[in-house]
Amino acid sequence: MADIDALVDELTRAEKLSLVRGAPDPESRATGYLPGVPRLDIPPLRLVDGPLGIRAEGERATAFPATLATAATFDPGLAREQGAAMAREARAHDQDVLLAPGVNIVRVPHCGRNFEYLSEDPVLASDLGRALVAGIESEDVIATVKHFVANNQETGRTTISADVDERTLRELYLPPFRAAVEAGVGSVMTGYNRVNGTHMSDHGRLVGDVLKDEWGFAGFAVSDWYGLESTVGAANAGLDVEMPGVPAGPDDPDEEFEWPDGIPDATHAGLFGEPLGAAIDEGSVPADRLDDMVRRVLGQMARVGLLDGRDRPGELDSERHRDIARDIAARGTVLLDNDGVLPLADDADVALVGPHVHTAKLGGGGSSETTPFHSVSPVDGLEARADGTVTSARGIPEIENVSLFDLLPFVDSGHEADDSGPDEEPSLDDAVAAAEDADVAVVCVRDATTEARDRDSLALPGRQDELIEAVAAANDRTVVVLRTGGPVETPWRDDVAAVVEQWYPGQADGAALAEVLYGDRDPSGRLPVTFAPEGSYPASDERRFPGIDDVAHYDEGVFVGYRHFDTADDGPTYPFGHGHSYATFEYGDATATGDATVEVPVENTSERPGREVVQAYVRPPTVEGTDRPEREFAAAAPVRLDAGESRTVTLDLDELALSRYDGGWTVDGGHYTVEVGRSVADVRTTAAIER
């Protein structure tokens, strides 16, 4: 490995400054670019979006399912495979840093970026984020975990301050980032937001003291794009790299332009570089701070082989990458309700209805947008699988496709509108007629989410609820397939035969959907977020979301998601961890085999194979003067069992679920009840642990 200290000593001041401030990519493909130092054989460093696959300008790549779909598998092994595959595709595009994964906690169901995140629970988000990072880094690509920290909404994201107490930060919002550091993440991206009044790029306590000093993070901290607020404050806080480092805006500098809410002012750039050099000269930033910044960048470049000429071949759109994308899409599909209509009979005549049934749902809008080489629509997927007749009808007009890039008229993003198939005007009557003539009606509906904009409502947009109700009235064997970036309202659920949550399934959309609907695969996804009526979430008042006077008050503390609903008067529509299977499983008695380990026998009692996700939740002892959640998610183990097969499943409980933060980490002495079951609301057996 290169001698980093020797390299730093040889660099001139100008060369050092060029390694901490982004510059234009000569090939116009990278999302971010550091030019390197040719005279010392330091190559450029190229950074590329994103969490659902590679978004190199003008290029194609495998379009993986939304990160929330990966989370729904509850399977770190599968997440690691995805991370490694995305890294190989980054290398195929000659990119060195992948701007992924996103691990922010799903605090607000309206957040337009929830589809990029992993869970409302810190243990699940940590387990899956750790796996994604390990997969990316295993292929000699630098992972970038984002957005540090408490970046939980898109409304006012460049100005909002998260007013959050230390305990809540430590127990809920920081753990996934710490897990990424433990997994060897090479880069951490700061959020646009403020925390308790201080912009994250300037947050010396969280970036410098916690991330670097306390956790021992050895990589580099990079700003979100145009998210640097100051030169001196950021450098002294511990930020190492400014991106993209060069201003952007309308072609005419005199043109009046108001930056939309959620979009950073792109003319506010170049705060590192010459301004940083001036700050060092005047003594407001120590000279050794610049050396540390450069050392961190070069250290990560050396670690992935960029400084020693290591061969780093890539892999693009390979059969195994297609298989991984399809596997995640299928295994992340959640069967929310089923009265026996699923799985479909091979010879069933199916009416496939929905405004976008001719288009694969690739993802949400923004930096995660990926252009695949090929994709499979629901129509293509079902027609390829069915023995019976598949009749399609759009029923209603298409749902507007929203994107961050549509908010910037001077940006040519290459963002394309959906091609929803036939040109004829959609007809609700045609959809109803198709449903009446079919054995089963399948209605595919979607929401519309994007970076930089939160959803106004959890209701399905457009006339989709009307479409579902009309089809359900025409056919009592109606299946609704949700393709959403998070929870949505389901006012018609009692009128339909089955409800399936497919999230944003990516390029394998229709193929994975057909596999699940026809029972070729068990619907083994489980909810990583709680579905509930819109007004019942803890951050449902203006003070908490979207905030007042640019402050979002995290008054709910750690009581987010299922932790809130455990104590609420009204229960959720579908609880955290919920998901049905086509198989049936029986649990034996759970046994504590250590102070943080539980074993439970599980048997598939059906006549078909199935995949169960065994989950463990911990109820802590009561301690006077403490206010803890009734229970906390502690572990999960996905297990595939053939018909009649039994297996003893081992659950290693995460210490976070046993701990609380009170100026330091504490594990209270006493009796802990470990609940083992199929969801937070479906407990099958318990065990006791004494501490």
Among 75, 224, 380, 430, the one annotated catalytic: 224
**Cα gap 106→104, rounded to integer Å:** 6
> What tens digit of pLDDT does each residue of 80-124 get?
999 999 999 999 999 999 999 999 999 999 999 999 999 999 999
Residue 411: predicted pLDDT: 60
Q: How high is the pLDDT of residue 421?
A: 63
The pLDDT of residue 417 is 47
The domains found in the chain, sorted by start residue, are 4-247+284-303 (3.20.20.300), 331-536 (3.40.50.1700), 583-690 (2.60.40.10)
Regions of the chain with pLDDT less than 70: 1, 409-423
> Torsion angle of alpha carbons 142, 146, 148, 151, nearest 10°?
170
The number of beta carbons lying within 10 Å of the beta carbon of residue 650 is 14
User: What's the pLDDT score for residue 230?
Assistant: 97
Which structure tokens are listed for 538? 């803890």
Q: What's 112's DSSP letter? A: T
Q: What are phi and psi of 542, to 5 degrees?
A: -60, -35
Is 476 one of the annotated active-site residues of the chain? Answer: no
Closest among 240, 155, 161, 245 to 201, alpha carbons compared = 240
Flag whether the pTM goes above 0.85.
yes
Please give the pLDDT value at position 542. Answer: 97
What is the per-residue DSSP string for 489-544?
A: --TTGGGSSEEEE----GGGHHHHHHHHHTTSS------SS-B--GGGSTT-STTT
For residue 669, the model assigns a pLDDT of 95
